[in-house]
């Protein structure tokens, strides 16, 4: 696994190649891809023989596209942008106008790639990036294969990068995987989950397996439970049409939340080889106890936000009033669930997952709560006579990436008193707050043919197998109480009850403020 280290360390450049971007006028290209490429260039990680082809149906040329991306991508790049480097990146753009369903487009692409290889020495390496709607993934892959563009010769590589969603249920995910694998070998397919590009997610493996004080207690003997929260303060904004056909469960659980869960619970791999790590992640996902249809109503909670006045005084409209959302929509904007893993390491440890829109803040964290220490020795010295507070470890994914640990210490006083205190590690304080989109590492890994941070077909399908019973029950029993939580709150009361019935509570957010 070739992780991007501190900017002060020497990192080898990515090899020469061409990045072909399908859907280059979309939000992803301007918000993530071009800023990430610029940041890689500023770090000296892009080869001087790296080039970009953008593929569109629009009738314009390379100069017009350069003007477009110059205007739209700049706001998403660090303020101290180097005009010279940015212009150098823009000059590497080539333009191909064509219909993605037309074989002629791919014939002309093949010719353009040959010309670029001849003039810029790209080595025949090519990264095909599908920043397009998911219903085009199969067609593009099939057309690339038919044009001979998926074939690798000698040491060159041809990689297909696919953005989520990877299907909308188990059947469609399998069908998509079959189509992609008919065009490209599995080891050529890179399914992106941008959460895996975040430093804290990558650091979970380093923290767990490179510290002798951590791994021995990372099991059911010492850990009481874990919580994974992915909260968004915004609503669906302009994505109402897509979201109303998807919902929080499909949008977040089979990919983002299960990716975090598998990373924090997997067994140690024999090496950081991509397949070795992904083998262990696949094993842990297969060890999750299936949620039976009769368990859905007790182990899973769904919610939809309603209108509310936020703490800032602004009014947040209800989900059903959002643009391109059905006025009687039964689509969930919140989901919480309890999962159990049937393994020796995690026997009896519950994992509580929740995600939602229009919550009190935007943050993602993993909370590891350890079992309580015995009270007997301290029964006369506790503040307010409560139990000894359990130790907690918090892995912050966003916005302030880092790791926090709470433990108990003596309060300065003539009499013995205990109070929880916190230690905190922040990436920005220790390593500096360099510009990042989360895609820099993913693109760099893809160019270096390292699949560690990308989803494999079996992992995708296992995730859908887990949520399929939930989708079936929800389809058969539409919600009767939507909307059931006010915008700007922590979801429906049933989510609190889900964890409270086990004698536990969600950890309060310490970084939340909604506007």
Helix, strand, coil: what percent of the chain each, to 5? 40, 20, 40
Count CB neighbours of 320 within 10 A: 19
CB 239 within 8 A of CB 420: no
CA distance 286 to 501: 26
Q: Could you write out the three-class secondary structure of 435-501?
A: CCCCHHHHHHHHHCCCCCCEECHHHHHHHHHHHHHHHHHHHHCCCCCCCCEECCCCCCHHHHHHHHC
DSSP category for residue 270? S
The per-residue b/e assignment along 61-70, b for 16 or more CB within 10 angstroms, e otherwise, is ebeebbebbe
Q: 295: which DSSP letter?
A: G
How far out from the chain centre does Cα 376 lie?
A: 43
Contact indicator for 356, 231 with CB cutoff of 8 Å: yes
Beta carbons within 10 angstroms of residue 258's beta carbon: 27
Q: Please report the sign of the dihedral spanned by the C-alpha atoms of residue 132, residue 134, residue 136, residue 138.
A: positive
Q: Please tell me the number of Cα atoms within 13 Å of 410 on its side-chain side.
A: 6
The catalytic residue positions are 256
């Amino acid at each position: 696994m070739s992780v991007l280290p501190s900017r002060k360390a020497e990192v080898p450049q990515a090899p020469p190649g061409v990045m072909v971007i399908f859907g280059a006028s979309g939000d992803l290209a301007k918000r993530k891809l071009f800023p990430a490429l610029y940041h890689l260039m500023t770090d000296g990680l892009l080869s001087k023989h790296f080039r970009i082809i953008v593929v569109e149906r629009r009738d314009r040329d390379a100069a017009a596209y350069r003007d477009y991306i110059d205007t739209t991508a700049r706001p998403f790049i660090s303020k101290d942008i180097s005009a010279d480097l940015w212009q150098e990146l823009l000059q590497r753009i080539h333009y191909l106008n064509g219909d993605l369903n037309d074989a002629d487009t791919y014939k002309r692409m093949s010719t353009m790639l040959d010309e670029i290889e001849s003039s810029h020495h790209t080595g025949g390496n090519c990264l095909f990036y599908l920043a397009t709607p998911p219903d085009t993934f199969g067609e593009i892959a099939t057309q690339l294969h038919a044009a001979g563009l998926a074939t690798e010769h000698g040491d060159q590589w041809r990689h297909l990068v696919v953005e989520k969603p990877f299907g909308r249920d188990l059947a469609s995910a399998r069908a998509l995987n079959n189509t992609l694998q008919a065009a490209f070998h599995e080891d050529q397919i890179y399914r992106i989950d941008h959460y895996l590009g975040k430093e804290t997610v990558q650091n979970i493996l380093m923290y767990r397996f490179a510290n002798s004080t951590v791994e021995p207690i990372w099991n059911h003997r010492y850990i009481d439970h874990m919580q994974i929260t992915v909260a968004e303060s915004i609503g669906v904004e302009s994505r109402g049409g897509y979201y109303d056909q998807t919902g929080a469960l499909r949008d977040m659980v089979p990919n983002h939340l299960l990716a975090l869960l598998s990373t924090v619970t997997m067994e140690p791999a024999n090496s950081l080889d991509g397949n070795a790590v992904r083998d262990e992640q696949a094993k842990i996902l297969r060890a999750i106890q299936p949620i039976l249809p009769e368990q859905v109503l007790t182990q899973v909670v769904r919610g939809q936000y309603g209108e509310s006045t936020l703490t800032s005084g602004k009014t947040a409209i209800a989900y059903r009033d959002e643009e391109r959302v059905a006025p009687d929509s039964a689509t969930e904007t919140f989901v919480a669930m309890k999962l159990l893993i049937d393994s020796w390491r995690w026997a009896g440890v519950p994992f509580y997952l929740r995600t939602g829109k229009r919550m009190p803040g935007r943050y993602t964290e993993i909370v590891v709560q350890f079992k309580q220490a015995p009270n007997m020795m301290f029964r006369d010295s506790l503040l307010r006579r409560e139990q000894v507070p359990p130790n907690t470890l918090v892995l912050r994914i966003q916005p302030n990436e880092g790791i926090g640990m709470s433990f108990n210490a003596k309060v300065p006083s003539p009499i013995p008193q205990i109070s929880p205190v916190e230690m905190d590690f922040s990436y920005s304080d220790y390593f500096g707050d360099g510009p990042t989109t989360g895609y820099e590492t993913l693109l760099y890994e893809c160019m270096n043919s390292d699949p560690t941070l990308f989803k494999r077909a079996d992992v995708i399908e296992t995730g859908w197998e887990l949520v399929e019973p939930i989708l079936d029950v929800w389809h058969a029993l539409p919600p009767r109480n939507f909307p059931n939580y006010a915008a700007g709150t922590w979801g429906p009361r049933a989510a609190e009850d889900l964890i409270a019935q086990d004698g536990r509570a969600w950890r309060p957010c310490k970084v939340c403020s909604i506007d």
